[in-house]
Each structure stands twice: as C-alpha cells, then as structure tokens.
Amino acid sequence: MNTADLHTLTGAYALHALSDDERERFERHAADCEDCATEVRELSATAARLGLAVTASPGPALKDRVIRRITTVRQEPPRTLPLTVQRAGVLRRYRPARWALAAALAAAASLGGTAVWQHERAQDAQEQARAAERRAAQVTAVLTAPDATSRTAKLADGASGTVVVSRSRDQAVFISSKMAKPPGGKVYQLWYDDAGTMRSAGLMDPDRTSETVLLKGAVDGASGMGITVEPAGGSPEPTSAPVALLGLPV
C-alpha cells in the first residue's frame, strides 16, 4: 500500500472499519500528515452527528396502543378439572391465550425501558461528540497560539514526542509518534514536573501509537513533563520509572 492509498483511508479509519494492520499503517502515516489527521477529526465528529440524527425513540402512543390491545385478549374462565382428567389436548387449548397475554405484557413493559435506553445512549453520544469538539478546539488554540513554543525528544524504539506550551493560555499539548503500545491492562500516564513533584496531567489512549493529547490542568510554572506506565485508570502518583522526561520549552 503506497502513500496515495493511505490518503484514501481517512473515512474508513474514522468509522473503525480498518483491519489492525491497515490501522497501524494509517496511524504511522497520519502522524506525519496533518491533512489526514485533520480530516479524520472532522469525519469522526460528522459520523457522531449522523449517528445522533438517525436515533429515534418509540412514541408514547405506542405503549398506549399495546396496553389497549391487552384488553382485547379474551381470558379463559378458570377450570378446576382434576389433574387426572386433564388431557394433553385440554392443556394445549389454554396455552395460546396465556402466551399471548404474557407476550403483550412483556412487550408493553419493555417499551418504556427501550425508549429510556435509546434516549440515554443518544445523550451519551451527543455529550461525547461535544467533548471531543471542545478538546479539539482547545488543542488547536494551544498549537496556534502566538506564544506557542515546542520541544521534541526522541523516545525509545524510534518513537518521538513533542510538547507544545502556550504560556498565555497556561496549557500544554503532547504529540506522540510511533510509541509502543503499553502492556495489557496498562496505560501511559502524563505528568507535570513541579520542581521534582509529579502532578498528573491525564492519560493516553492505550490503543493509539500516535496521538495528540491536551495535558490536563494548568502548566502553572511546571518545568517539565514525564510519561510513566500505570495500571488502567491511572495512578495518583507515579508507580514506575519514567519512559520519557521532557523539559518544557520557555
């Protein structure tokens, strides 16, 4: 697959439709291709909006119609035949009505739950899309700030990392390229170095080898940043030796 082919995979990547091999090759390409990286961000946001556009919940009238239909199911009168005279044919005659009523009741009970579930999922997707847009806007603001300065360092196994700082915004962005994935159940955690005291600055995506991350919290006079391998979910303080230490640009 050549570079021209990789340029055409932005849509499939945004929709998680690539194989593992294709995804890894595209991520390596996108780390050095700002056009593709920008297009992926835009397509991902668009896909989220389209998903919300087709989400629909059952109308309240549907539940009322099902409840009314239940009343039209004729109930069999109670029978008190001794068990010894209940033939197989007699038993079969009463089952359809009971099954119809049970099915109708189950359907009516599930309608409310289905509507609530769909509404909650739509709200979750919408909030995730908004949060992604906010993060993208903040990253862009830092990278394009008039006072933005950067520093790049080589990491292990041919990887590299760049930290960009905007003092006027009191924010920093870390851009990784070709980092090895952390071990299973682990995650890369970012830290600010406050005169030797490490302050958590967020987590990286364990499934991404190249990523642009807005560091959590204000720079607030930090002199550097570090990366450690921590248990999934992160740690309140570093529990392993740093895999990288970078001084913040001045």
Note the pLDDT tens digit of each residue in 97-136: 454 545 554 555 555 555 555 556 666 666 777 777 787 8
Q: Compute the distance between CA of residue 161 and CA of residue 171 in angstroms, rounded to an integer.
A: 17
| Same domain? 35 vs 114 | no
pLDDT bracket for residue 70 (50, 70, 90): low
> What's the CATH number where 9 sits?
1.10.10
| Same domain? 44 vs 72 | no
pLDDT bracket for residue 87 (50, 70, 90): very low
The 10s digit of each residue's pLDDT in 202-212 is 999 998 888 88
Provide CB contacts within 8 A for 97, sequence distance 6+: 73, 74, 75, 76
| Same domain? 50 vs 84 | no
Q: Considering the domain boundaries, does residue 189 fall inside one?
A: yes
Segments forming the whole domain that contains residue 109: 60-123
| Same domain? 168 vs 219 | yes
What mean pLDDT comes out for the span 156-165?
89
Last residue of a domain, one of 54, 77, 95: 54
| Same domain? 50 vs 64 | no
| Same domain? 18 vs 67 | no
Q: Compute the distance between CA of residue 27 and CA of residue 101 in angstroms, rounded to an integer.
A: 55
**Tally of domains within the chain:** 3
| Same domain? 167 vs 221 | yes
Residues in the chain: 250
| Same domain? 105 vs 191 | no
| Same domain? 114 vs 170 | no
Q: Considering the domain boundaries, does residue 233 fall inside one?
A: yes
